[in-house]
Each structure stands twice: as C-alpha cells, then as structure tokens.
Amino acid sequence: KMANATAKAELGRHTWHFLHLLTLRFPDKPTPEQRTTLSTFFHTFSLLYPCGECANHFQQLLKEMPVQTSSRMNAALWLCAAHNRVNERLGKPEFPCDKLDESYDCGCGPDPTSSKT
Ligand code: FAD
C-alpha cells in the first residue's frame, strides 16, 4: 500500500495519547520490577511501532535520552521531552511540560494502589 500521511498522523496522535497516559499513571515510587517493566516496554515499543521511519528515529532518540523510570514525574517529563524532540524535527510547536497533568485524563478514576486520583 502507498504511504498515507493522514493515517500516519492519526496513528501518531493516538499513540502519543496512550504513551502519555501510561507514564502519567506510573507509580510515584516504583519498585525495581516496575522500573524494568517501563524501560523494557519503551524499548520493545520502539522496535514494533508500525511506522518504520518513526520507529528508527525513536530508537535513536532512546539512545540519546534514556527512559527515566525513577518516578511517575520523571517518566512523564522524560516522555514529554522526547515528544518535544519529535515535534522539533517535524516543525511542530514545543509542548509546555508543566501542563501535562491538566492536559491528560485517562478516565480511570483513582489508582487502587495509590492515594492519587
Ligand atoms: P502530536 O504530535 O500527535 O501530538 C498530539 C497532541 O499531544 C498535541 O495536539 C498536543 O496536545 C499534545 N502534545 C504535543 N506535544 C506534546 C508533548 N511533548 N508532551 C505531551 N503532549 C504533547 N511522524 C512523522 O512524520 N515522522 C516521524 O519520524 C515520526 N515519529 C514518531 C515517533 C513516535 C514514537 C510517535 C508516537 C509518532 C511519530 N510520528 C512521526 C507522528 C507525529 O509525532 C505526530 O503524532 C503526527 O504528525 C500528528 O501530529 P499532531 O500535530 O496531531 O500532534
């Protein structure tokens, strides 16, 4: 099939949405196992992302900016910075990473393992 920029952009929007919610729901105080799981997830993700050009760029980005897994905040800010690097390359505006929490809501309600909402 032909490349289709509209479909590629749609895939990107949905994927970023999922990834940001994932890091924003990561524990404040992750166990070593949870930290490994997050790191493994992003490496596996970068190998399997359906847009091959995007996957190659993201693999390179992971080498320059290793996944931050020490806390929810560090993971969320790391992904925001990585997304901003992609934005920069595509000529898109930089997102203000201090606005992450107010911009994303997974609709999940309180996390049963924490006191956060
Ligand atoms: P998107 O970048 O999809 O962002 C969606 C929304 O998220 C924005 O409207 C904004 O509200 C919010 N947002 C923006 N920046 C941030 C941020 N830093 N932190 C939190 N929220 C933010 N496309 C290509 O053409 N070439 C590529 O190499 C490429 N690589 C990609 C790699 C990955 C891992 C992913 C997930 C996508 C990639 N894409 C690539 C797709 C591209 O990043 C966009 O998703 C797509 O172009 C649609 O852009 P958009 O303007 O709708 O906003």
**Which CA distances in Å does 80 have to 30, 67, 74?**
19, 11, 10
Judged by DSSP in three states, 18 sits in helix
In the prediction, which pLDDT does 117 show?
46
* CB contact at 8 A, 65 and 79: no
pLDDT in tens, 65-87: 999 999 999 999 999 999 999 99
Answer whether 59 contacts ligand 1 (Cβ < 6 A): no
Which residue's CA lies nearest to atom 12 of ligand 1?
Answer: 95
Look at residue 38 and tell me whether its pLDDT is greater than 90.
yes
**Which CA distances in Å does 44 have to 2, 13, 48, 62?**
26, 19, 6, 11
In the prediction, which pLDDT does 114 show?
60
- Select from 2.60.120.260, 1.20.120.430, 1.10.645.10, 1.20.120.310 the CATH code of 31-93: 1.20.120.310
- The per-residue pLDDT of the chain, averaged, comes to 94
Answer whether 55 contacts ligand 1 (Cβ < 6 A): no
Whether pTM exceeds 0.90: yes
In the prediction, which pLDDT does 92 show?
98
